[in-house]
Amino acid sequence: MDLGKVQRAAVLLFASRGFAATGIRELGAAAGINSATIYHYTGSKEDLLVSIMRSCLEAMIESGSAALRTSAEPTIQLAALVAAHVGFTATNPLTSRVVEYEMRALGPENCHAMQSRRDEYESLFAQVVERGLRVGDFSSDDATMARLALMEMGTGVAHWYRPDGRLTLTEVQHNFVNMACKILSADRALLDGAGYIRQPALLASEPTPNSTSLPA
């Protein structure tokens, strides 16, 4: 009836125990169904993970691509991309974590498929940084390291951001945009008046406080 329910239960458990340490029976219990019923929604435990990863990565690519379409100005693109990345990660922290951590749980075929989507996403950052450097809006000792640091930083949001925490999502996004500009020596003045922040999507796989309950 509801693949989302199973995905949310899976993400909740995969994020806290890890894919390999989560049993099909635990998944069933967390989703409120018999473990055998899970096979009505998915072909295998790995397929379930893949379906979660695929929709997450595709949403990330979509969100990042949309960010780049916001403007032709590298600095605004950077801001939009960082804001989107942070927004997405903060909105879907558990799913993001599963995508980040569990690539290694996949078989070679699935692993390759997911890795190429992740590469596609990372290339968005590479494009922006490269263009900004080329037109002289950014400067950096090492473009690759700057890009990796940028992404890693943003991904780290999944480890600590809480919707009901000290900072609003918008504040967090602005702070990260600022840090990104500092790292690339970009001129923040170019961002004045540019509406580069979009509402991030909530994935069907992301557990919300009341959507599932952890078993004892």
Tell me the C-alpha distance between 111 and 93, whole Å: 21
> From the list a copy of itself, DNA, none, which binds 153 (C-beta under 5 to 8 Å, kind-based)?
a copy of itself
x/- map, 26-65, DNA, by CB under 7 A:
x------xxxxx-xx---xxx-------------------
Stretch of 22-30, 57-65, 106-114, 156-164 contacting DNA, by CB under 7 A? 22-30
Out of DNA, a copy of itself, none, what residue 152 binds, judged by CB under 5 to 8 A for its kind, is a copy of itself
Q: Which residues bind a copy of itself (CB under 8 A)?
A: 16-21, 101, 104-105, 141-142, 144-146, 148-149, 151-153, 155-156, 159-160, 166-167, 171-172, 174-176, 178-179, 182-183, 185
> Which one of DNA, a copy of itself, none is in contact with 35 (Cβ closer than 5 to 8 A by kind)?
DNA
Name the segment binding DNA (CB under 7 A); options: 19-27, 98-106, 122-130, 193-201: 19-27
Q: CB under 8 Å to 89, separation ≥6 — which residues?
A: 96, 154, 155, 157, 158, 161
Residue 33 interaction partner, one of a copy of itself, DNA, none, beta carbon < 5-8 Å per kind = DNA
Judged by beta carbon, residue 60 or residue 151, the one nearer a copy of itself is 151
CB of 43 to DNA, least distance (A): 7
Instruction: Estimate to the nearest angstrom the gap between the alpha carbon of 146 and the chain centroid.
Output: 19
- Which residues bind to DNA, rule: CB under 7 A? 1, 22-26, 33-37, 39-40, 44-46
